[in-house]
């Protein structure tokens, strides 16, 4: 991978990291809140439990994403960024543009997805 290309992906990763951090603290959780005005009083507790679960779910996902972004940034510094962890083949640029924190080539990502059927593939 060319140095300029690597720099571009690094910047993209840093942007993504910032997005995740901002999302976690504000926007997404705000959008998903259930308005308690629309609910009878006895439903308030249930609604707040749902809100908590939604918030925790988001945090888990964001933390996971954040960890992958950090890993990718580390790889950029180590010079191993953009290489499949399974076969050591370069991950396609198109794939990296869509998922800058991908650690597997499309072949192995699809394989993993089949193995983890039912789980969200990242």
For residue 108, the minimal CB distance to Zn ion (Å) is 4
Show the site string, 66-105: x = touches Zn ion by CB under 5 A, - = not: ------------------x-xx-----------------x
For residue 87, the minimal CB distance to Zn ion (Å) is 3
Single out the residue of 2, 15, 9, 12 nearest to residue 76, CA to CA.
9
Q: For residue 36, what is the DSSP state? A: G
Paired tokens of 112: 């993993």
Q: List residues binding Zn ion (CB under 5 A).
A: 84, 86-87, 105, 108
């Amino acid at each position: 991978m060319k140095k300029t290309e690597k720099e571009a992906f690094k910047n993209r990763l840093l942007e993504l990291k910032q997005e995740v951090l901002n999302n976690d603290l504000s926007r997404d959780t705000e959008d998903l809140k259930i308005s308690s005005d629309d609910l009878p009083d006895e439903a308030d507790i249930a609604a707040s439990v749902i809100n908590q679960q939604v918030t925790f779910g988001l945090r888990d996902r964001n933390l996971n994403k954040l960890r992958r972004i950090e890993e990718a940034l580390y790889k950029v510094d180590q010079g191993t960024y953009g290489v499949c962890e399974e076969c050591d083949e370069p991950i396609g640029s198109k794939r990296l543009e869509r998922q800058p924190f991908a650690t597997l080539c499309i072949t192995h990502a699809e394989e993993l997805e089949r193995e983890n059927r039912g789980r969200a593939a990242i």
